[in-house]
Amino acid sequence: MTQDIVFIEALKVDTVIGVYDWEKSIQQTLQFDVEMRTDIRAAAEVDDLSKTVDYAVVSEDIVKLAKENQAELIETVAEKVAERILTHYAVNSVQISLRKLGAVASTQSVGVRIERDATLYQAV
Ligand SMILES: Nc1nc2c(c(=O)[nH]1)N=C([C@H](O)[C@@H](O)CO)CN2
């Protein structure tokens, strides 16, 4: 298996997210860094976008998902994005860093980082 990665860096999405009541009536910014492990050789061989993971399409998908699924925890959003990527694209595993910007005073950032494998979602 190759170690190839298609990545998306610092994708910002404004959405309703948070545990506390005051957070449920405002928009806050989530920032995604996504690394998708996939074999890029077939696409490179024939210079064809349809044979790789289109980072523009995945980015649009993440924005839609984050806006439509208003959650309390960023963990919930990270898991939904991982499941979406691994079940809809030719990706073997995904690493997602999800930051909630401005959530905690005096920090540079807070967030979660998860790594999930496509085998988790395969039917037995
Ligand atoms: N591990 C987490 N901790 C916290 C979360 C979260 O989503 N995951 N969320 C909050 C609040 O919504 C916070 O962002 C408000 O300041 C607190 N801790």
Nearest residue CA, atom 7 of ligand 1? 73
Which tokens in the block code for residue 9?
């860096």
Q: Which single residue is written with the structure tokens 């950032």? A: 109
Radius of gyration for the alpha carbons in the chain, expressed in angstroms and rounded: 16
Which neighbouring-strand residues pair with 71? Answer: 17
CA 69 and chain centroid, separation: 13
Domain positions in the chain are 5-121
- Among residues 51, 64, 80, 100, the one annotated as catalytic is 100
Closest CA to 114 of 96, 98, 100, 99: 96
Distance 63 CA to ligand 1 centre (A): 20
What's the pLDDT at 1? 76
The per-residue pLDDT string of the chain (124 residues; one tens digit each, 9 = 90 and over) reads 789 999 999 999 999 999 999 999 999 999 999 999 999 999 999 999 999 999 999 999 999 999 999 899 999 999 999 999 999 999 999 999 999 999 999 998 999 999 999 999 988 7
Residue 100 annotated as catalytic: yes
pTM for the whole thing? 0.96
3-state secondary structure of 105: coil
Looking at domain 5-121, which CATH architecture does it have?
Answer: 2-Layer Sandwich (3.30)
Which tokens in the block code for residue 29?
């910014």
